Amino acid sequence: MLTTLHALIFGWLGAITMFTLTVSPTVFAVLDGPQASSFLRAYFPRLFRYEITVGLAIIGLSVVLSMNGMTYHYGISVGLIVTVLAYLNLRVIMPKVNDVSDQLINDPSPQMKKKFALLHGLSVGFFGINALGMIVLFVFGY
């Protein structure tokens, strides 16, 4: 069970690393603005749903580990945080990022750019918190 949990953590970390190092730079290097936007608007909901699934799986595996005599409350907490932050990214932040991105086309003002940067930073921050939580769970969750 613990091996499955660790594989899940590293799978998610690998997906995020792959996106950061390969997909994102390639999208912006190869596609023009509207094409890049269309791609990312299709890609991110899938990524956030995958992240939610990972969070729920961490919770489930942690509950099973706890039932087998090991108290794995860190896993339950990390899974809950991952699930909630990914859900917020999917249902709250991403739609706002998309709206602001659309508004930037007609209003590239510093205020709109700042709003976009804030929302994008919040989304990236949620990814970072989730990644850090999973790394901490792997290192200290025994």
Whole-number pLDDT of residue 68:
76
CA 25 to chain centre: 17
pLDDT class of 69 with cuts at 50, 70, 90: confident
Give me the pLDDT at residue 73, please.
Answer: 79
d(CA 85, CA 63) in angstroms, rounded, equals: 20
- The answer to whether 74 and 133 have CB atoms below 8 angstroms apart is no
Handedness of CA 127, 130, 136, 137 (dihedral sign): negative
Which pLDDT tens digit goes with each residue over 80-123?
999 999 999 999 999 999 999 999 989 999 999 999 999 999 99
pLDDT of residue 142: 58
How many whole angstroms separate alpha carbon 124 and alpha carbon 85?
11
* Sole residue written with tokens 């005599």: 69
Instruction: Write the DSSP string, 71-104.
Output: --HHHHHHHHHHHHHHHHIIIIIHHHHHHHHHHH
What's the predicted TM-score (pTM) here?
A: 0.91
Average pLDDT over residues 113-139: 94
Q: What is the mean pLDDT of residues 65-89?
A: 88
